[in-house]
Amino acid sequence: MGLEPSEVTFSSDASTSQNEPDNSPKELEAQTIKNFHIVDTKAQKKELDLWALEAHKPMGSPEWKMEEVKAQFYSENSTYTVTGKTGAVDEVKKTMVIEGNVKLASTNGYIFYTEKLRYNPEIRKIISDDKVSLEGPPEEKEGRLYLEGIGLVVDMDTNLMTMQSHVKGFKTMSDNRVMNISSERGEFSGKKKSAVFKNNVVIKVDLMRVRGNYAMFQYKEGRLDTMYMDGGIHMQDQDKSGSAGEAIVYFTEDKYIFRKKPFVTQNDNELIGDEITIFNKGQRVQVKNAKIEYHNSETKK
C-alpha cells in the first residue's frame, strides 16, 4: 500500500512552489518543500518517521529527492535511526535510498557506517551492499567492539542486524589485551547485547589462536565475560596445537576449556581426555580424565 494522505505530515515551516505561484515552466514542473517530514503508519502503529532539510519532486513523479536526511524505523522492541547527506523516497511504494556518510544506530547502542542504504518496505529490511563498519555499544567496560565487513541487512521483524561477509576487527580486553576477530558473517541483536560470528571464525588473543564455525559472545554486568565456540574447533599457540568439538573462553580468567573429544599436542606429548583447560596465557594445561596430563613442562602419567 502507498502512503495515504492522512499518513503524510509536513512540518508547519514547509513551503512549496505552489504556495508562491509563478507562471514560469520551472514552477509548474517541480515541487520543493523545506523541513520535509513524512510519517508512515500501518494498523495504527507508526513504522517510519522521515525528515529532510529540503525535498524536491518533479510534477507527476512519486519520488522525492532529499537533502540532509534523517529516518527513524520502528520495530516492536527497537528503533533504528539512519542519517545521510542525500536520499530519495517513493511516497507510493515507500521504498527509500539514503546516501553519503550514512550512519545507522540501534536503540541498544550498535552503530553502523556505510555509504548507501536502501529500505524495502515489503520485507521490512534496511539493506546495504557496500563496505560497512561497526562500533559496539559505548558502555562496554573494557572497550568497544570495532568491525569492518561487506553488506548489511537490518530486519525490523526479527531485530537482527547482519554483516553479510568478510567480517574482521578487534575488541580491547582487560589488561589492555586485544582480541582480533574474523569470520564470514556477523549477527547482532537490536534488542539486547548479543554478538554471533559464523563460518570460518578465527579468534586471536595474545599468542592463542582458536578457529571454528560459530562463536557467541556472552556478557555479564556490561563486560564481555565468555565466548562459546563450536563447529570443529582448532587451536594453536607458540608451542601447542589441538582440536575439539567445542570451546568456552573465560576472558576474565584467561582460561580456555576444550570439550567433546579434545586433543592437544605439545612438543612430543599428546593430551587426550574429556576436557582440556589451557590458562595462564598458555603456560599451564590440565586434562580431565586424562590418559596423559601435562603441567608446567612436566609430564605425568
pTM of the model: 0.82
For the chain, give the number of residues.
Answer: 301
Q: Please check whether residue 265 lies inside any domain of the structure.
A: yes
Taking only the tens place, the pLDDT of each residue in 38-69 is 998 887 788 899 999 999 998 889 999 999 99
Is the pLDDT assigned to residue 177 strictly greater than 90? no
Q: Please check whether residue 238 lies inside any domain of the structure.
A: yes
Q: Please check whether residue 232 lies inside any domain of the structure.
A: yes
DSSP 175: G
* Cα 70 to chain centroid, rounded: 20
* CB neighbourhood size of 101 (10 A): 12
Q: Please check whether residue 263 lies inside any domain of the structure.
A: yes
Q: Please check whether residue 57 lies inside any domain of the structure.
A: no
Taking only the tens place, the pLDDT of each residue in 116-131 is 999 999 999 999 999 9
| 3 state DSSP class of 190 | coil
240: CATH: 2.60.450.10
Q: Please check whether residue 1 lies inside any domain of the structure.
A: no
Percent composition of the chain: helix, strand, coil (DSSP 3-state, to 5): 5, 65, 30
DSSP 211: E
Q: Please check whether residue 150 lies inside any domain of the structure.
A: no
Element (H, E) at 114: strand 111-120
Q: Which domain holds residue 217?
A: 206-301
Q: Please check whether residue 68 lies inside any domain of the structure.
A: no
DSSP string, 199-253: EEEEEEETTEEEEEEEEEEEEETTEEEEEEEEEEEEEE-SSEEEEEEEEEEETTT
Residue owning grid cell 521504498: 95
| pLDDT class of 73 with cuts at 50, 70, 90 | very high
> How many domains in the chain?
1
